[in-house]
Amino acid sequence: MSLGNAQEIQEYILTEGLPEFLTFKCERRSRSLYLPQIDMTITPEVQQIQNNNVGIGFNCYLGDKDKPLYEYSAGLAGDIKSAVGISLTTFLMTFMNGIDSMYNKIMPREFTSEFAGREHQWNAYLSNVAGMGKKEDDSDIDVATFYWDILKDEIIKRLGNQKLVYVKVYAAKYPQEAVGEVRIDNVAIPELGKIVEQHAAKWNTSFASDKQFFFIEQDESTILPDPYEGTGGRAQIRSKMVDYLILFEGATTREKYSRLVDDAADRIGDRTLAQEFFSFLPEIAAMHALGGRLKFSDMAEFNFADDTTKRVYLSQLSDYTKIDLCLGDILSKGDFGDETDNVWKDLLGMSSVCNMVEKVKQGGSRLEDLSPVKMIFNVSEGFELR
Give whole-number Cα distances, 135 to 75, 89, 145, 171, in Å. Answer: 20, 21, 16, 11
Domain membership flag for residue 383: no
Residue 384's pLDDT is: 95
Number of domains in the chain: 3
Domain extent, residue 176, equals 107-224
Same-domain status, 46 and 154:
no
Burial of residue 383 (CB within 10 Å: 0-12, 13-18, 19+) is buried
Q: Which of 46, 75, 105 is the last residue of a domain?
A: 105
Same-domain status, 261 and 370:
yes
What is the C-alpha separation between 281 and 327, in angstroms, rounded? 8
Ranges under pLDDT 50 in the chain:
none
Count the Cβ atoms, other than its own, within 10 Å of residue 240: 21
| Residue 339 CB contacts under 8 Å (≥ 6 apart), including other chains | 249
Residue 230's pLDDT is: 86
- 0.85 surpassed by pTM: yes
pLDDT 10s digits, 134-164: 887 655 555 789 999 999 999 999 999 999 9
Residue 137's pLDDT is: 66
Amino acid at 316: Q
Q: In sequence order, which ranges of 158-253 are alpha helices (DSSP H)?
A: 190-200, 230-250
What is the C-alpha separation between 160 and 312, in angstroms, rounded? 9
Domain membership flag for residue 115: yes
Amino acid at 250: G
Residue 44's pLDDT is: 98
Count the Cβ atoms, other than its own, within 10 Å of residue 281: 22
Residue 286's pLDDT is: 96
Same-domain status, 350 and 211:
no
Domain membership flag for residue 170: yes
Domain membership flag for residue 384: no
